[in-house]
Amino acid sequence: MSRARSVLGYSAAALTLVAAVLTPFLLLDVFQRGVAGLGLRVDPVYGGGDEVRSLTRGGYRIVVHEVVRPGGLWPRGEPFVQVAWTPVSALPPRVSDEIDVDGDGRVDALVTFDVPADPAAPLAVEVAARSPLVRAVPAGGGAGESCASLILRVGDRIVVRLPIERPPAVPVT
């Protein structure tokens, strides 16, 4: 009888371990739907805000995001507009594009940067202000600067944040 109890106990322990290992995989879809149903979003300070327009230049796209105004106690920072160039493989060795930040039909900034072949190579950007809306970033800027003026390679995109000197009165659409 004690041998039967041992076998039963070990069998129950083994089944418990199997259930513990399989449960996350079996219930993953339920957890994902539950979290998605909460309506959580990544803070625009980290994600760059919603896309408001896309421009096609040759074989690549330029995606302009909404103006992000950091607020509250954390995170603090300056307002910025995130602009992304994609795909990196279609970009010329040197990018120099005029950007209309607020969608009013006038150029607000000239963004210039080199596209190195090595994805791990450091990037530097120059932003020339063409309107009072955008603050200039000197040549070589962007690396180690504030969160409002940076350049990063993220997957198959190059992301540049343009610092905003004077946020537009009307939201960017």
Cβ atoms of residues 17 and 27 within 8 Å:
no
Q: Quick: pLDDT tens for 48-57.
A: 888 999 989 8
- Among residues 92, 67, 87, the alpha carbon closest in space to that of 173 is found at 67
pTM: 0.71
Residue ranges per domain, the chain?
Answer: 1-40, 44-163
In this predicted structure, the answer to whether residue 142 has a pLDDT above a threshold of 60 is: no
Q: Which pLDDT score, from 0 to 100, does residue 173 have? A: 47
Burial class (CB in 10 A: 0-12, 13-18, 19+), 145: middle
Confidence label for 22 from pLDDT (cuts 50, 70 and 90): confident
